[in-house]
Amino acid sequence: MTRDLVGYILRLEVASMKILITAFEPFHNETINPALEILKVLPDQILNQKIIKLEIPTVRYSSVEKIIHIIEKHHPDVIVSLGQAGGRADITFERIGINIDDYGIEDNAHNMPVDEKIVTDGPDAYFVNLPIKEMVHALREAGIAASVSNSAGTFVCNHVTYAIRHYNEVHQTGIRSGFIHVPYLEQQVRDKPMMPAMALDTMVHGIELAIETIIKKGNDYVS
């Protein structure tokens, strides 16, 4: 088989990829959420691959139900969820979701669980199965601050990280999923002295680079 033919076959395989990107609505007295602002301006295709965009509520079980509905409708190959991490200075790629809801603030449906399991009989944790180190590298090469995070917290972001990995494991969907946290937008920190922020254009570029990395890795990446 010639190199040109191999390349052609690989391009055909990549051409079928569908990537679901989710982002939370604003929460906890904020009028905007940088994750949602990124989602709004992401293109419908990246490297000729279909991007499915979904806004989700900042509500623990409702957010997961909405994602599962889209999984069953569109059968994406990859799910990348975006969320705000106020106080972080860079774009952070979560390594793990843990089986606990322990909210220090209410979600948007006034839920404030303490030490509750997300899935009663589920494992303690799931590692994400996206190429997080490669994505961090791609952003840093472009001059965008990025790092691997070993804690997605215990709020709704972690809930989604864990619950979607659990769904895909239980149903053996073969879908890869993970979570990316982004900092505050600059306009969010005008009344928050010393709080770090990042420009929207920078964050959008960073997320596009992350998605490009996933596409380029394709099925070569094994968690």
* pLDDT tens per residue across span 133-191: 999 999 999 999 999 999 999 999 999 999 999 999 999 999 999 999 999 999 999 99
CATH number of 15-220: 3.40.630.20
The C-alpha atoms of residue 100 and residue 115 are separated, in whole angstroms, by 6
Q: Check 94, 159, 166, 208 and give the catalytic one.
A: 94
Q: Is 94 a catalytic residue?
A: yes
Mean pLDDT over all residues of the chain?
93
The C-alpha atoms of residue 156 and residue 73 are separated, in whole angstroms, by 23
Residue type, 60: R
Q: Check 37, 159, 166, 181 and give the catalytic one.
A: 181
What's the pLDDT band for 41 if we cut at 50, 70, 90? very high
What's the pLDDT band for 218 if we cut at 50, 70, 90? confident
Tell whether the model's pLDDT for residue 8 goes beyond 70: no
**Per-residue pLDDT averaged across 201-207, rounded?**
98
85: left (phi over 0), alpha (psi -120 to 50) or beta: beta
